[in-house]
Structure 1
Amino acid sequence: MSLFISAYPPPSAPPANMFGNVPGYEDIMSGGGGYLPPPMPLEPIAPPQPGPTPDNWNIPSMSEDEAREAFKSYVSAQCCYRSGPAEDGVITNTEPSNTYRYRLETFTESRLTEWATKPHEGEPADFYTETAPRPWEVQATPPNLFTNHTQEIRVPYTASIKDCHSCHATGTMPCEECHGNGYKQCWVCNGSGSKSDENCSHCNGTGKDRCSECNSHGTKDCETCKGKRQLLTYIKLKVEWTNNMEDHVVEQNSGLTADLKSVTGKELFKNSQYLLYPLIGFPNPVIAEASQRLVTEHQSKYAQNSRILQQRQTVELIPITKVNYKWKVQRISCRGRSVSDSGV
């Protein structure tokens, strides 16, 4: 077996001087980076205005017909359930036990920067041809409100062309599979050239097998520059729009143990503006308290390293009704919930 010594110098990490000094981006040049706090507004932002306080929140209750249809739908979805109680049972009374879900959404924009490289494919170097815009000055295309989205942008006037540090501008690297030889040990004869006292028919007695990874060249295109020999280095800006959503479901006393966070409710109220004011005058004080707590927490938490673009709060009614009915002289109590006007 022959020992192969590569004539290629080992690949290196990007040198510190590979990236230039760009005003406004000193944090990533010192090894920092990460999320950048938004700049302070030029003018003070007006405080959030109080939201509406409707006199009638229009809280509906489940009718007898709705209860019966919900019961039928539930029975038909179960295996081996008889339809008699649902069809023939006599509803004696209904007891509403409604509960509510409060939802707060805070739509934010966050920005972070980092140095990036790509194979140079003829792009012009614009480094220092003009002053690079600061991270929050770069134009980005936002999505629709309350929609998660990510956009990566090459910051203008930060691009320069450098020799590839991995292959030292050769465009190639030794094949790792054959260690740059172009051939591997024959797997049939284990490199001996013979098998059963005869020449190995697979390698014709050479003991070598062509390397399929590099097509016997011994080298492959450099993974870093893709054979281009040079890299375009630039500052990459990552813009993230995130809809930060949080729910609060009021505890209810109907005895129902289902997960109400996933249930569809009836929308009673919704409003949206730049910064929200907590709800005032809602009949259930727990909802008002949840609104006060979440609005305060969101505005404090998300304004640190992101820009709040819009907030939206919603109150939904989750109708829960206890239905008492008689069937074959026996009095039966059935607890259930209505989901989008159906279901038990």
Structure 2
Amino acid sequence: MADPRMVGVQVQGQPQQQYGGYPQPSPQQSYGQQGQPGYPPQGQPGYPPQGQPGYPPQAQQGGYPAPGGTPPQVGFAPGQPPPEGYQQGGAPPAAAGPEPSAPSVDKMDSISGYEGVGFGSAPPLPPPSYEEAQRQPPERSSLPQLPGITEEDAREALGQYVAEQCCYGKSPAQELKFTDIVPSSAFHYTLETFAEGRSTAWAYEPFKGQPIDGPMNGPAPGPWDIQAQAPAMFQNFTQQVEVPHTASVKPCHTCLGLGRKPCHHCHATGTSHCHHCHGSGRTTVYEDGHHHHRCCTWCHGSGRRQCHQCHGLGQIPCPTCGAQGQLKCYIKLTIKWINHVEDHIVERTALPDELIRGVSGQVAFKEEYPRVWPINHFPEAEINNASQNLVQRHSTAYPTERLIMQRHQVRIIPVAEATYNWKDQPYNFFVYGFEHKVHAPDYPQKCCWGCNIL
């Protein structure tokens, strides 16, 4: 017994003959005619009743080329009126408007809980309200001590830095005399809020006989009632799913259910202008000191050639429905998991703050909870204030998203400012991070002598 959900599925029968890539109709069978194979029976859920706008004409023959004959100019059945907006034997009228980019929302089924949903992008949907459980601040341990940077570490780091730079002279790094090394610490606070946002919009795809889960199978669940699991915590990811019980089959809005559309390259005539003779049917050759006109061998003197887009048929398969003539319309739910990250750096020297983000340090503090408490025990008051401000802002900054998890941490990055003399002139540089990166903007020998730049 046939599956009742298979609305509009074409019955497999004997192999059809082919004509120019299109199936050739037999005298007993026409495509798109009521009661024939491939035509959905009237009254099925999701299909508009006969006579509604966008419904294919009952006796439409489909416009396929007749066996042994020439293809029609426009590709519509002889003796039948062409669809609205087209003229028999020619291109669409110049005054005709552009093709619709999506089916009309008025033709979509009314789905409870999804009123007002349209095609294209949609605003995010606010999550359902929930009550947070009473939380207690966790116990927090003391901070670790970091090892300092010695003169030997600073000299070695500067030598490695100079070796990686183009044209830097090595003499200052080898001959310098340290006058002082002042150690310090930079603090990097980071707050991450992992949240989930949802939005809905109508979508469509070519109907090729796939099962249709329509309203006849039950009411559609709400956008936030559909279960979905993030593939990984604190990583951005987007997932799109079909909302159950919202699908239906509709005629294609581009080809009006025909499965094909007039070729705009040749204006549905099947032929295009010959570019070799410029449409004159003749070419000019120079022989015996004179110009002679010859019949164009490309178009055989007609001035026109077979259209390479439609292969002379005057029509092309509809790209919207994949030449099926029908679309599966459904409500698409878009789920976005977003990791919102903000940070704050405390660094008291002249070292640029952005350099601190790219090096490693000691993680002095780290917590992960559905809702984190602001830090209030750190010896650096600026870090405590930054944590208080960021946690408070994240609690209200994303009203259309459901907060899943939060985590925050404080890294301590060692920094040392080294001052030295070279040729009786004072200079300085910074060594920072566990990698002993160097920042030396006033290195005295940035361009070695005898360097030729091609």
CA offset at residue 335 of structure 1? 2.4
**Is 2:191–2:391's contact at 8 Å kept on the other side of the alignment?**
yes
Provide the rounded CA distance (Å) in 2 between the counterparts of 1:57 and 1:71: 27
SS in 1 for 2:337: strand
2:431 aligned residue (315, 337, 342): 337
Output one character per residue of 1:133-161: Cα deviation in whole Å (capped at 9) or x when no partner.
11011122312110110000011111111
**Cα distance, 1:190 vs. partner?**
2.4
Q: How far apart are residue 168 of structure 1 and its match? A: 1.1
Alpha-carbon contact 1:58-1:268 (below 8 Å) kept: no
Q: Which residue of 1 aligns with 2:405?
A: 310
1:56-205, aligned counterparts within 5 Å? 56-87=143-174, 89-128=176-215, 129-196=217-284, 197-205=293-301
Per-residue deviation, residues 275-327 of structure 1 (Å, max 9, x unmatched): 1111111111111111111111111112x100111111121223221123456
Deviations 1:57-110 (A, max 9, x none): 434432333323212211222234444544454544321232211111110111
Which ranges of structure 1 fall in alignment gaps of 5 or more residues?
A: none
SS in 2 for 1:293: helix
Q: 1:39 aligns with which of 114, 128, 133?
A: 128
Q: Which moved more, 1:330-339 or 1:208-217?
A: 330-339
Q: Give the counterpart of 1:9 among 69, 84, 99.
A: 84
Q: State whether residues 143 and 364 of structure 2, in contact with CA within 8 Å, keep that contact through their aligned partners in structure 1.
A: no
C-alpha offsets along residues 220-253 of structure 1, whole Å, 9 cap, x if unaligned?
111110101111000000000011111211242x
Stretch moving more, 12-21 or 116-125: 12-21
Cα distance per residue 1:12-57 (max 9 Å; x no partner): 452333311111212416999421111123xx21245424433334
271, 279, 303: which one pairs with 2:375? 279
Measured in 1, the distance between the counterparts of 2:274 and 2:316 equals 21
Match of 2:91 in 1: none
SS in 2 for 1:97: strand
Which of 393, 400, 418 is the aligned partner of 1:323?
418
Aligned to 2:34: none
Distance 2:143 2:351 in 1: 27
- Aligned mate of 1:217, from 302, 313, 322: 313
Counterpart CA distance in 2 for 1:73 and 1:291 is: 37
Paired residue secondary structure (1:259): helix
Alpha carbons of structure 1 residues 108 and 323: separation in structure 2 relative to 1, 3 Å: same
Q: Secondary structure at the match of 2:128?
A: coil
Gaps of 5+ in 2: 1-72, 76-81, 86-98, 285-292, 439-454
Closer, same or farther: CA 262–22 of 1 in aligned 2, 3 Å = same
CA contact (8 A) 1:148 1:242 kept: yes
Q: Is the 8 A contact 1:337 1:343 kept in 2?
A: yes
Higher relative contact order (CA 8 A, sep 6+): 1
User: Aligned pair in 2 of structure 1 residues 119, 283: CA closer, same or farther (>3 Å)?
Assistant: same
- For 2:119 and 2:251, the matched residues in 1 are separated by 22
Q: What is residue 360 of structure 2 aligned with on the other side?
A: 265
Quick check: 1:230 aligned with 2:326? Answer: yes
Identity percentage of aligned residues: 37
Task: Give 2:107's match in structure 1, choosing from 4, 8, 18.
Answer: 18
CA distance in structure 2 between the partners assigned to 1:320 and 1:29 by the alignment: 56
Q: Distance in 1 between matches of 2:430 and 2:306?
A: 72
Q: C-alpha distance in 2, partners of 1:283/1:221?
A: 71
Looking at structure 2, the residues matched to 236 and 165 of structure 1 have their Cα atoms a distance apart, in angstroms, of 19
What is the SS of the residue equivalent to 1:287? helix
CA distance in structure 2 between the aligned counterparts of 1:297 and 1:167, rounded to whole angstroms: 51
Contact 2:119 2:201 in 1 (8 A): no
Match of 1:244 among 316, 319, 340: 340
Aligned length: 336
Q: Is the alpha carbon distance of 1:22 and 1:261 closer, same or farther for their aligned partners in structure 2, counting shifts above 3 Å?
A: farther
The normalised TM-score by structure 1 is 0.89
Asked if the contact 1:69–1:342 (Cα under 8 Å) also holds between the matched residues in 2, the reply is no
54 and 92 in structure 1: CA distance in 2 versus 1, 3 angstrom threshold: farther
Match of 2:142 among 55, 73, 78: 55
Q: What is the letter of the counterpart of residue 300 of structure 1? A: T
